[in-house]
Amino acid sequence: MSQAIETKKENLSVVKKGAIAEIHLHVNKANSYTLDYYRELNEAIDEIRFDSEIKVVVMVSDMPKFFSAGADINFLKAAEPRFKTQFCLFCNETLDKIARSPQIYIACLEGHTVGGGLEMALACDLRFMGDESGNIGLPEISLGVLAGTGGTQRLARLVGFSQALDMNITGALYTPQEALDMGLVNRVFPQAETRAKTMEYAERVAST
């Protein structure tokens, strides 16, 4: 059996075991991120892309109630316009690397997945969610902010233009079952089994 190798960073950790890599988010209680997190994520994706042994990547949160609440609002409020533009661009470029990577990326959603957190999950190939994981959606319009890191592109490709438009202009939040029904997530598992079921799936894919 392969031994797990863990690389710890300030905002995330990468755990490699055999053909599977796990990216663990631990930014803060809500995984509300700043540029520092995305720099670390970008480095982790680059490292994994060049690892010929890795076939599947699972993104998961170490925080019990959140996958991610998206970008830190105070961080965005304090940033000048040009910086915010470049920040969103860098985030998009980082997430685009996931689609261009040879590995299969799975978002394991065990807590609230909103705003930029959902946009991270949208960049993954698959999304698995616990049935008591809380809300999922793009509520940032209530703060006068548009979904700037894929919520107006990747979401439309996934659930269709009309549904994506409705989500973006209303800021509606959905239950895991509603997300499954609209095709926003691929699987909904019993909450306590979510991570184990996700890893079972990852192992099955990695072994093929």
Q: What is the pLDDT of residue 162?
A: 96
Q: What is the pLDDT of residue 41?
A: 98
Worst-scoring range by mean pLDDT, 2-6, 37-41, 129-133, 171-175? Answer: 2-6
Supply the pTM of this predicted model: 0.95
| Average pLDDT for 15-30 | 97
Which two structure tokens, joined as six digits, stand for 37? 């997190």
Q: Cβ contacts of residue 171 below 8 Å, gap of 6+? A: 137, 138, 139, 140, 141, 142
| Average pLDDT for 11-27 | 97
Asked whether 66 and 29 are in contact (CB, 8 A), the reply is yes
The band of 150, judged by pLDDT with boundaries at 50, 70 and 90, is confident
Asked whether 151 and 138 are in contact (CB, 8 A), the reply is yes
Please tell me the total count of domains within the chain: 1
Q: What is the pLDDT of residue 183?
A: 97
Average pLDDT, rounded, for the chain: 94
Q: What is the pLDDT of residue 1?
A: 52
Structural domain boundaries, residue 164? 5-206
CATH number at residue 33: 3.90.226.10
The band of 101, judged by pLDDT with boundaries at 50, 70 and 90, is very high
List the catalytic residue out of 93, 110, 119, 203: 119
Residue of 151 and 15 predicted with greater confidence? 15
Is 119 noted as a catalytic residue in this protein? Answer: yes
What does DSSP say about strands 12-17 and 20-25: parallel, antiparallel, or unpaired? antiparallel
Residue type at 102 in one-letter notation: P
Q: Could you read off the pLDDT of 24-45 as tens digits, one per residue?
A: 999 999 999 999 999 999 999 9
List the catalytic residue out of 110, 140, 178, 193: 140
Residue of 61 and 73 predicted with greater confidence? 61
Which two structure tokens, joined as six digits, stand for 110? 């065990």
